[in-house]
Amino acid sequence: MRSRFDEVTALREELEAERQARREAERIAEENARALYDRQDELELLEMVAAASNEATAIEPALGAAIVHVCAHMRWPVGHAYIADEASGALRSTAVWYLEDEARYGAFRDLTEEVGAPGLPMRVVEAGEPSWVADVATEPGFGRAEVAAGAGLRSGFAFPVLMGTDTVGALEFFSDRAAEPDPVLLALMAQIGVQLGRVVERERAREELERSNADLEAFAYLASHDLAAPLRAVGGFVSLLGRRYVDQLDDDAREIIGHAVDGVQRMQTMIDDLLLYSRAGTTDLQREEVAAGELVTAALRDLAPAVAESGAQVEVGELPTVRADATQLQRVFQNLLSNAMKYTAPDVSPRVVVRSGPADGGWEIAVADNGIGIEPRNADRVFEMFARVHGGADYRGTGLGLAICRRIVERHGGRLWVEANPGGGSVFRLTLPR
């Protein structure tokens, strides 16, 4: 029979076991809460880096923002970025730093910039993965040990900025306390490295586009400028040949000379358009308050021969006063009206209507025609340089008119696009801010 003592002991043991189980449960709950809290912190860090990356319009500010956020998250005093040269791939130190204490860590920064590509980031770039330094003073190949330890730095790590599988940079961080490798943290940093890699990719593509646009610009200018004079000479001599030897030439020769002069003239138009295109992107806008109606009237006056030849009926509604470069905007109307009278449909008497109305914070002006129209799949293409969708002998042109128009309108802060006219033909619409 169990004694009363035994019963009490058993009860006490039971109680103790229960208490222990409760303590264990509380410990697990607390651990989970902390993990959840850390997770929340990590998510916030990722979100902040993502937001800064999206907003950045250059690589270095994006790296700078990431460094500040990571240092704040870890409460570490030093962060720094390296970037790989696009052409050679060689890693170089950037001027992008976070230093909690300039006086204390300044010497470490200066030495790092002097070395350019120290051991730690080089290791990261070569391996394509993060690397942890438990103690900067004893780490083999670290290279900056003395100055780092002198500034009171203890541990650090670096991780790659990855564009796909290519390492295009590296970020390094240092603490003034000893810190053991933290796999969770390194996984988080790997994600940041991928995010920053996307910024590098995006910004490099943008720079490349700007470069090629500038090249095209320079080419357009040079071509139009330098080709004009010899071409004028060729045209002049061929015409002279026709005139001076008119009695000695037969019809066949005269026809050939006619074709040559015609070719020269077409080339001249193309060169003029190229020059206009390049000017539309570079000359400063002379903005003033102008009545759009007057610009349309002036454009129609210049187009009088085309109006007469096409027999087009042109209707111009009430148009607003806008803030624009009068010469350039008149050119836009002239191109749109000229196209409207050029791309006419057979057996349809041409009709052109210009109307306007308010649009988001500005005006919309539409030039509608009942001509041959533009297929929806070509609606964007017609604005590209040299793009012609109705070529051949029927319609002559350089394919630059609409590219010039779009350039001018966009430089005014507006948009220009084309839609199908429900009544047949096309409607070109442009917007201008107020």
**Which residues make up the interface to ligand ADP (CB under 6 A)?**
335, 339-340, 343, 369, 371-374, 382, 387-390, 397-403, 426
Q: How far is CA 383 from CA 214, 230, 277, 406, in A?
A: 18, 30, 12, 7
- CB-based contact 411:280 (threshold 8 Å): yes
- CB-based contact 406:335 (threshold 8 Å): no
By C-beta, is 80 or 388 nearer to ligand ADP?
Answer: 388
Q: Which residue is nearest to ligand ADP (CB)?
A: 397
CB of residue 355 to ligand ADP, shortest distance in Å:
15
- CB-based contact 129:141 (threshold 8 Å): no
By C-beta, is 130 or 373 nearer to ligand ADP?
Answer: 373
- CB-based contact 172:181 (threshold 8 Å): no
By C-beta, is 158 or 367 nearer to ligand ADP?
Answer: 367
Please tell me the distance from the alpha carbon of residue 62 to that of residue 85, in angstroms, as a whole number. 17
CB of residue 389 to ligand ADP, shortest distance in Å:
4
- CB-based contact 360:432 (threshold 8 Å): no
By C-beta, is 144 or 342 nearer to ligand ADP?
Answer: 342
* Residue 64 burial by Cβ neighbours in a 10 Å radius (0-12, 13-18, 19+): buried
CB of residue 339 to ligand ADP, shortest distance in Å:
3
β-bridge mates for residue 93, sequence order = 82
By C-beta, is 71 or 430 nearer to ligand ADP?
Answer: 430
CB of residue 331 to ligand ADP, shortest distance in Å:
11
By C-beta, is 330 or 335 nearer to ligand ADP?
Answer: 335
Pairing of strands 313-316, 351-359: parallel
CB of residue 400 to ligand ADP, shortest distance in Å:
6
By C-beta, is 122 or 354 nearer to ligand ADP?
Answer: 354
Please tell me the distance from the alpha carbon of residue 380 to that of residue 13, in angstroms, as a whole number. 83
CB of residue 344 to ligand ADP, shortest distance in Å:
8
Tokens in use for 36? 């959840």
Reported as type and span, the H/E element at residue 350 is none
Please report, for the chain, how many H helices and E strands are present, in that order. Answer: 11, 12
CB of residue 213 to ligand ADP, shortest distance in Å:
18
112 CB neighbour count, 10 Å cutoff: 24
